[in-house]
Amino acid sequence: MPLIENGHIVEDKYVRVSDEDALPEGVPVLVGVDRFLKEAEALKGRQAPVGVIWPNNRPIAEIAPYLGQLSLIALNFPIFRDGRAYSQARLLRERLGWTGPLRAIGNVLRDQFLLMQRSGFDQIEAVKEADAEAFDEAVHRYTVFYQPATDERPSLLRQRLGRTLTGAAR
């Protein structure tokens, strides 16, 4: 599957390792939450980056004590109509202060790219190559937003307040 990072198709440097397989030395790994929590102490001493696949049915606050040892968090979209990972992404960015890479995996569709980006995802594992190529168009389709989000684009209210405050200061 193609990996989109900040709008560009990139090579995935992380190797997904199942719970039963040995961790390869010297390469970034992406492990499941059960393995990560069981081996968290041992993984601290690892010389290569470690990422975790966090399921959307587990409270995201549980990851807080481990944020310092992670280099990537992947949130899962098991089916297209299950959006709990959007909430997890915003909580990670806004409340827990996660600034590292946040990856959307699973059933990721083209029409969700903009919301994923606005929710805080900077990596998206696209289902098809064509979807990855359409990323730029998808995230620039709209220029005005009513809701505030984790991205830098201001909401319509913030834009209007800015003009009002600037006009009042003259």
Give the alpha-carbon dihedral of 29, 111, 93, 75, to 10 degrees: -30
| Top mean-pLDDT range of 79-83, 98-102, 138-142 | 98-102
- Model confidence at 63, pLDDT cuts 50, 70, 90, reads very high
The residue with tokens 């960015």 is 93
In SS3 terms, 139-167 reads as HCCCCCCCCCCCCCCCCHHHHHHHHHHHH
Whole-number Å distance between alpha carbons of 29 and 43: 10
What is the average pLDDT across 27-52?
A: 95
Higher confidence at residue 21 or residue 158? 21
How many CB atoms lie under 10 A from the CB of residue 121?
A: 30
Average pLDDT over residues 64-79: 95
* Mean per-residue pLDDT, 39-44: 92
Is 60 exceeded by the pLDDT of residue 56? yes
**pLDDT value for 57:** 94
pLDDT above 90 (res 145) = no
Q: Give pLDDT, residue 9.
A: 84
Is 77 in contact with 108 (CB distance < 8 Å)?
yes
Residue 88 has pLDDT above 80, yes or no: yes
**What is the residue-averaged pLDDT of the chain?**
84
Domains in the chain, CATH or no CATH each: 3-142 (3.20.20.70)
> What's the pTM value of the predicted model, to 2 decimals?
0.81
- Looking at mean pLDDT, say which of 65-74, 110-119, 130-139 comes out highest: 65-74
- Residue 14 Cα distances to 86, 103, 146, 169, angstroms: 22, 11, 36, 51
